[in-house]
Chains A and B, each alone.
Chain A
């Protein structure tokens, strides 16, 4: 079956530090890959996505590249802000009839200090 593994958290950084959150996956076929973010008191929201190998998703300064050879989709940001403090979820879906059936990683709590 499909599975997603994220790096252990929580992650604590100072403002303007570089962020990497590792994500690897196991899937049959050619999944689409996602990063969702959950800010305090809010629902999960889509941060970025990539639908095929070597695609790079980007949004709000965050980036992730779909690496088929390493089955990875690591999230990066060059300079984090306090407002980036949230829980980050890596996810995949097989598409087709499973259009919205997402398989999530365990989530990584990010705290950014001023």
Chain B
């Protein structure tokens, strides 16, 4: 069964460092997302990406964040200068666009900023 894969599963970094989280969405999907869950809090939407551009982003997704689909298979989230409050589980998701709200999520990448 097709699945969304994410790497790394856990990354520890120092405050101020750049981090790139990688995702391989399901191959025939057209819509891509990043969500995050800070420990003890809700899963929250960060950004959606369609047709090679951001279609919507939340207030959290400021200039420190960027996304790209560099090679037609990977979908990446970059945090330019990490802060302590960026520590969270980051989930990548993809969808076909055929059914509202039906997304396929990866297992998540846990980011710890020290």
Residues of A at the B interface (CB closer than 8 Å) are 32, 34, 36, 41-46, 49, 51, 89, 91-93, 95, 97-107
Complex CA gap A89/B91 in Å reads: 14
Neighbouring A residues of B56 by C-beta, 8 Å:
97-98, 101
Interface centre among A51, A89, A104 (most CB of B within 10 A): A104
0/1 per residue, B26-49, Cβ < 8 Å to A? 000001010100000111110010
CA distance A89 to B35 in the complex (A): 14
Residue of A nearest to B43 (CB): A104
Instruction: Looking at the assembled complex, report how far the CB atom of A28 sits from the nearest CB atom of chain B, in whole angstroms.
Output: 16
Do residues A43 and B91 form an inter-chain contact, with CB atoms below 8 A?
yes
| Chain A residues positioned under 8 Å from B33 (CB to CB) | 100-101
Q: What per-residue 1/0 map shows which CB atoms of B45-61 lie under 8 Å from chain A?
A: 10010000001100000
Chain B hits for A44, CB < 8 A? 43, 91, 93, 103, 105
Q: Which 8 A-B pairs have the closest CB atoms?
A: A43-B105, A44-B105, A93-B101, A104-B43, A95-B100, A43-B107, A43-B106, A100-B95
